Amino acid sequence: MNKLKKHYILWIGLLLVSLMRSIPQTYAYMTDLEMSGHNNFVSSSLDVELTSFQSQTTPTTLTYPSGLDTARLFTVADKGLVPSTYDLSFQFDGGNINLCDGLVVTLNDISGVAYSGPLSGATVSASLLGNGADLHLYVAEISLDSSLANTYEGEHCAFSYVVTTWQDPYYQSGGWTDTEVLIDRVDVALVPPEVPTGLTILDHNGVDVGCGGVTDNRLITVDWDDSTAPDIDHYDYQNKTSVTIAKPVVSERTGSIADQDGLYKYRVRAVDTHGTSSAWTAWCEVTLDRSLIISSGDVIINEVMWMGSDVSTSDEWIELKNTSTHPIDLSGFVIVNAGTAGNSITLPTGAMMGVGGYYLISNYAESSASSALAVTPDFVSTGISLLNTGGQLTLRDSVGSSIDQTPLASWPAGTLSTEYHSMERTDVPGDGTVSINWYSCTDARCNDTTYWDIEGDNFGTPGGANY
């Protein structure tokens, strides 16, 4: 039995020797994964510390338009005793991944820019000496293009700076490793729309009376420019009570002023789909004064140079006069039959005439070689064409109501011979269709250089009182 036992022991020993010779060479290594901002673990072989001196618990908020960038200062410190190489990269943790892809990072180290490009693709490699004191300082400048601010407003990007270190010479292949993680987050603030521009008021005829204008009709349109915000939802609309009375989705609001003359004012602000609103516009005011309503005879056709002048037979003009007690807006007024082939002449937007004032409409500018005028017309229209044989002129307001007329058929006054005398209205205008309310301008003052380039053969008082 003792001899058999010895044989078994010998065979077991030989088998063990044989097995040991067949075992391949194996490298031993350790992995150190730490998930904190401040690391105190120390390895006698390999240890790297990733630290930021800025708060990691408070997200960085990017604001439009001037605050769409931020910076993070952090260090990679060598705490081990072996030389190593590390990769610094960025890891998506949560939020809007498209926002993360849209963020741009410039990673600066002591030598300059180590990386510049999309945050999602950022990576930097560097080596540590393994002396326990080597320190790499980084500044990560993160920014968002202003064109993306509206797209990602209210969104966030949660990510981490990740440093993975390998002992030399096993970079990315084995040996001792150490992984450090530093969390960060970027929020994009809600972007308020721009304050609406171009706020103005249109009267019932669509004439722009502006802010501070006057209208004689309760129906108005408050108009403003379209918002440029891509996510505009509606506008808040207030009247003088500072109460939001409407939320139009288009950049205008038509309605009626209260049935009482006086001052009214309006303002708007833009609101986007997130409920974020712009600041209010300034107030735009309008005065309702129905005493300004134009009646027949408030404006008269006061003088007509139907025959032209000694410079040109086309040097024709028409003068209107305000006989009312208030200024009159002539915008859109029409003189029927004053144009070529019986067409009408329409007065331009903004044409105004003060109390007792005159408004001169001429075929030529004062400076024209075809004009004998020494006064500046209020409106130049090359379309005036008056027949020498006559033709009734009708003055209509902007809504088509007849305000004044000249007689039917031939001209009741004015002469065309060796001299050119205008046709003027009598001091008491009366009915313009009655011939006796017109006369020819023959007074010597009608030939004065106040009205004409020279004291030639032209008589009339364009832009002035009749004689």
Rounded to an integer, what distance in angstroms lies between the CA atom of residue 46 and that of residue 31? 10
Sign of CA pseudo-dihedral 64, 65, 67, 68:
positive
Q: Does domain 31-188 have CATH number 2.60.40.2550?
A: yes
Q: Counting beta carbons within 10 angstroms of the beta carbon of residue 153, is it exposed (0 to 12), middle (13 to 18) or buried (19 or more)?
A: buried
The pLDDT, as a whole number, for residue 408 is: 94
User: Residue 147 has what pLDDT?
Assistant: 87
* Interatomic CA distance for residues 74 and 121, integer angstroms: 19
Nearest one of 313, 322, 410, 409 to 360, comparing CA atoms:
322
Helix/strand/coil for 97? helix
Per-residue pLDDT of the chain (467 residues; tens, 9 = 90+): 333 333 323 333 332 333 333 333 323 333 344 443 333 334 457 999 999 987 766 778 888 778 899 999 999 999 999 999 999 999 999 999 999 999 999 999 999 999 999 999 999 999 999 999 999 999 999 999 988 988 898 999 999 999 999 999 999 998 889 999 999 999 999 888 999 999 999 998 898 999 999 898 899 999 999 998 888 999 999 999 999 999 999 999 999 999 998 999 999 999 999 899 999 999 999 999 876 678 889 999 999 999 999 999 999 999 999 999 888 989 999 999 999 888 999 999 989 999 999 999 999 999 999 999 999 999 999 899 999 999 999 999 987 889 999 999 899 999 998 999 999 999 999 999 999 999 999 999 999 999 999 999 999 999 999 99
Extract long-range pairs of 11-18: CB within 8 Å, 24+ residues apart: none
> What is the per-residue pLDDT for 57?
65
d(CA 287, CA 258): 11
For residue 92, what pLDDT is reported?
A: 96
Delimiting residues of CATH 2.60.40.10 domain(s) in the chain: 200-292
- CATH 2.60.40.1260 domain position(s) in the chain: 299-459
Q: What are the C-alpha distances in Å from 38 to residues 35, 52, 58, 287?
A: 9, 8, 16, 69
Using alpha carbons, select from 398, 365, 154 the residue that is nearest to residue 292: 398
CA distances from 458 to 203, 314, 412, 464 (A): 41, 14, 18, 15
Residue 87: CA atoms inside 13 Å, Cβ hemisphere, count? 13
Distance CA 44, CA 42 (A): 6
Tokens coding 360: 């001169």
Contact (Cβ atoms closer than 8 angstroms) between residue 274 and residue 153: yes
Rounded to the nearest 10°, the torsion over CA 429, 431, 432, 437 is: -60
121 in helix, strand or coil? Answer: helix
Indicate the SS3 state at residue 341: helix
Specify the fold of 200-292. Immunoglobulin-like (2.60.40)
Residues 28, 30: Cα–Cα separation, whole Å: 7
End-to-end CA distance of the chain: 161
E-strand stretches of 79-218? 84-95, 104-109, 112-118, 123-128, 135-143, 156-167, 177-188, 200-202, 213-215
CB 420 within 8 A of CB 459: yes
Q: CATH number of the domain at 299-459, please?
A: 2.60.40.1260
Task: Single out the residue of 366, 363, 287 nearest to residue 326, CA to CA.
Answer: 287
